[in-house]
């Protein structure tokens, strides 16, 4: 059974070309550039990286029918995953792997199959090995779908092999 699409969707967000490995060379001093090459979850879900700089990232994802829950709306785990992925790219600013030490999300409205969600992540605070990042998830009409706050921790793990 396919999920209903959003009856309130009237327009699409302007298309932006995703950032690929060819656009952003590997930099051993910037772990996000390694992630771009090794992030299979991002690829499997069709998440696209649209903007990236240290402490900031913008990613998008088309909501497919198989991403809807039993009520026909986008599964909250999918929204969380998009926000968490944007968080990961924003917080991996240095030469050591950074992981989440915690995260919270508030869902503000429903989205549906056919919607394009965009997660915009930005650093709020960074001190020592800890950081705080805010991520806003919007739909193609710029309506806020969720607000996510992630807490990061810099590990002593090196970069993944690329």
Q: What is the pLDDT of residue 5?
A: 52
Q: What is the pLDDT of residue 99?
A: 97
Q: Which residues pair with 51 in a beta bridge?
A: 58
pLDDT in tens, the chain (162 residues): 344 555 544 444 457 899 988 889 999 999 999 999 999 999 999 999 999 999 999 999 999 999 999 999 999 999 999 999 999 999 999 999 999 999 999 999 999 999 999 999 999 999 999 999 999 999 999 999 999 999 999 999 877 677
User: Tokens at residue 82, please?
Assistant: 């998009």
Q: Domain ranges for the chain, please list them.
A: 31-154
Specify the CATH number of the domain 31-154: 3.10.129.10
Burial class (CB in 10 A: 0-12, 13-18, 19+), 89: buried
Q: What is the pLDDT of residue 16?
A: 82
Other C-beta atoms closer than 10 Å to the C-beta of 77 total 11
CA distance 74 to 137: 13
């Amino acid at each position: 059974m396919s999920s209903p699409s959003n009856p309130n969707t009237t327009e699409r967000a302007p298309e932006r070309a995703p950032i690929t490995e060819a656009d952003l060379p590997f930099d051993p001093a910037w772990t996000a550039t390694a992630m771009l090459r090794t992030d299979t979850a991002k690829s499997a879900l069709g998440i696209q990286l649209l903007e990236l700089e240290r402490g900031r990232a913008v990613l998008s994802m088309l909501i497919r029918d198989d991403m809807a829950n039993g009520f026909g709306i986008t599964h909250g785990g999918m929204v969380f995953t998009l926000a968490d992925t944007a968080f990961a790219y924003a917080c991996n600013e240095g030469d050591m792997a950074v992981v989440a030490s915690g995260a919270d999300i508030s869902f503000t409205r429903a989205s549906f199959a056919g919607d394009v969600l965009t997660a915009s992540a930005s650093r709020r605070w960074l001190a020592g090995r800890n950081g705080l990042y805010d991520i806003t998830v919007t739909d193609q009409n710029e309506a806020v779908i969720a607000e996510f706050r992630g807490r990061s921790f810099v590990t002593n793990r090196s970069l993944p092999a690329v």
